[in-house]
Amino acid sequence: EIEPDTDFTAEDFCLQAIIYIEKILKTQRVPIIVGGSNSYIEKLVEDPVFMFKYKYDSCFIWIDVEHSVLNRRVDIRIDQMVKAGLVDEVRQIFIPDADYTKGIRRSIGVPEMDRYLREETNIDGDDESKKMILQASISSIKRNSRMLYCNQLEKIQRLISEKMWSVHHIIATDVFKQDREEDLDEAWTNIVLQPCLDIVKRFLKNDHHNIIIECT
């Protein structure tokens, strides 16, 4: 567990990742590293200090969604998070003089709520003003989330074009066009999960390390 005001740097991530990779390999199972931040993954793989490329065989899978569909999905997801208590969650860690460049407060959803949490006690009774400020904060969260995934997309494309990473590209756009939950689950299995499992199985079959993969 990391203290909320403490930065968990890319180097911290790499040091922890290497420890757990070794632990998992000793049990004859497959370590799966999930980003998160592509900067962390890049440092783990490319930094010669960690010897990752020389010690481990890697299988990279990129799950991608077309922009317009992902925009809609991001908006829906953030609205769901607000209904589920995002504002109260941020309120619990809100400090008026907080440093938004460190720790958990760097996370999208926290700095965007700053104005609303400052103003809500000053405009008691004025529900319309509160609603307008809250809506502006939610819009900022959506906008910054879109900017984040655009930046992540550029990083992935750079890793492929400049660093020459061999990356399996799974396009999941059709999954998120489904409206019913049961249709979404079935589409995810057919379009994303099963192809990913097939990729990993082929990768392990060509490996010489007799590693076990268990799928449930």
DSSP characters over 205-216 = HT-SS-------
List the structure tokens of 206: 């060509």
Report the pLDDT value the prediction gives residue 125, as an integer from 0 to 100: 62
Report the pLDDT value the prediction gives residue 36, as an integer from 0 to 100: 67
Report the pLDDT value the prediction gives residue 102, as an integer from 0 to 100: 86
- Cα 134 to Cα 89, 130, 146, 159, distances in angstroms: 14, 6, 19, 38
Domains of the chain, CATH where assigned? 7-56 (no CATH), 57-205 (1.10.287.890)
This prediction has a pTM of 0.81
- Please tell me what DSSP assigns to residue 170: E
Q: Going by C-beta distance under 8 Å and a sequence separation of 6 or more, which residues neighbour residue 111?
A: 100, 105
Taking only the tens of pLDDT, the chain with its 216 residues reads 777 788 888 999 999 999 999 999 999 998 999 876 889 999 999 999 999 999 999 999 999 999 999 999 899 999 999 999 999 999 988 888 888 888 888 889 999 999 898 888 776 667 788 889 999 999 999 999 999 989 999 999 999 999 999 999 999 999 988 777 778 889 999 999 999 999 999 998 886 544 444 544
Q: Which neighbouring-strand residues pair with 171?
A: 64
Report the pLDDT value the prediction gives residue 182, as an integer from 0 to 100: 78
* Cα–Cα distance for residue pair 181/162, rounded to 1 Å: 39
Report the pLDDT value the prediction gives residue 207, as an integer from 0 to 100: 63
Report the pLDDT value the prediction gives residue 210, as an integer from 0 to 100: 47
- Please tell me what DSSP assigns to residue 12: H
Do 170 and 62 touch, CB atoms closer than 8 A?
A: yes
